[in-house]
Amino acid sequence: MNHIDSIYAFISLFIIMLGTLATRVLPALIFSLFKIPNLLFWLSTRITPCIIGMLLVYCFKDIDLSIAPHGAYEILGVFSVVAVYFMFIKFKSNGLIAIFLGSTIYMMAIYFKIFN
């Protein structure tokens, strides 16, 4: 431990663990004790696909469209995933194939700097 005092680091990480448990496990405990309000239950049956859409945007949050290459690599990557997904639509594992082929295309594009 050269750079950061280890006792401080341990306490800090412990606090982060508590914060994590407070958001992940505490709500479940509370809902086990009290009945979930109807409106909240309704929300729970609708919100999942919305949150996944949000997480997709989260993946690309740090891309600056105003500077070159204007997110071209990510557009190519997402396009490749979608294209491969539909190309292999008859296969059961088309999703998996799309993830790996799409990512490979993205990484190759970055490696060969095709948009720079």
Partner 1 sequence: MSDLQNAFKLSLPLVAGYIMLGMAFGILFNQNGFNALWAAGAAVFIYGGTMQFIAVSLLSAHEGYFAIFVVSLVVGFRQIFYTIAYFKAFQSEFRFKKRMYMFFALADEVFALLSINKTLSPNAKFYFSLLSHSYWILGCGLGALIGGHVNFDFKGIEFVLSAVFVVIILEQVRQSKSALMSSIGILSAILALVIFGSSNFLLPAIFIIVFTLFVFKAMRIKGVA
CB of 21 to partner 1, least distance (A): 7
CB of 43 to partner 1, least distance (A): 6
Residue numbers at the binding site for partner 1 (CB under 8 A):
1-4, 8-9, 11-13, 15-25, 27-29, 31-32, 36, 40-44, 46-62, 73-74, 77-78, 81-82, 85, 95-96, 98-100, 102-103, 106-107, 110-111
For partner 1, the closer CB: 29 or 68:
29
CB of 112 to partner 1, least distance (A): 11
CB of 86 to partner 1, least distance (A): 8
Sign of CA dihedral 46, 48, 51, 57: negative
For partner 1, the closer CB: 68 or 92:
92
Contacts of residue 99, defined as CB under 8 A and 6 or more positions apart, other chains included, come to 81
- Report in angstroms the alpha-carbon separations of 55 from 13, 58, 67, 79: 25, 5, 23, 17
* Token output for 98: 């799309």
Encode burial over 38-58: b for 16+ CB neighbours within 10 A, e otherwise.
Answer: eeeeeeeeeeeeeeeeeeeee
